[in-house]
């Protein structure tokens, strides 16, 4: 499944599979968005699958946002496939609950 990014009332929803083959485009898109915005909300609820490379890239975006005094909310704690991958990488602390 191809990766899609949709803006749903200010929440950027990622749909499809996020992996080493497509994570660069997602990273570049959100890196620029974080530069232009104070708060960015990213939803991983509709991801079918994520790999280790993609988890690391999202963690890197989170750390960059913090270093720039920006807020990156990453929603996806309720998606068991996604939360398991973040737990495996010991990065589950960056995932938020689905309710803001």
Residue-wise DSSP of 18-36: E-TTTHHHHHHHHHHHHHH
Does residue 6 sit in helix, strand or coil? Answer: strand
47 has pLDDT over 70: yes
Render pLDDT for 7-28 as a digit per residue (tens, 0 to 9).
998 899 999 999 999 999 999 9
Which DSSP category does 99 fall into? -
Can you give the pLDDT at residue 12? 95
Strands (E), 9-94: 11-18, 39-43, 47-50, 71-75
Can you give the pLDDT at residue 1? 63
Question: What is the rounded CA–CA span in Å between residue 75 and residue 97?
Answer: 6
Render pLDDT for 50-93 as a digit per residue (tens, 0 to 9).
999 999 999 999 999 999 999 999 998 888 888 888 889 998 88
């Amino acid at each position: 499944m191809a990766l899609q990014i949709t803006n749903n009332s200010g929440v950027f929803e990622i749909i499809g599979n996020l992996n080493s083959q497509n994570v660069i485009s997602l990273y570049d898109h959100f890196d620029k968005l974080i530069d232009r915005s104070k708060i960015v909300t990213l939803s991983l609820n509709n991801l079918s699958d994520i790999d280790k490379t993609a988890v690391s890239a999202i963690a890197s975006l989170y750390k960059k946002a913090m270093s720039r005094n920006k807020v990156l909310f990453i929603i996806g704690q309720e998606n068991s496939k996604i939360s398991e991958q973040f737990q495996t990488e010991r990065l589950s602390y960056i995932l938020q609950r689905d309710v803001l």
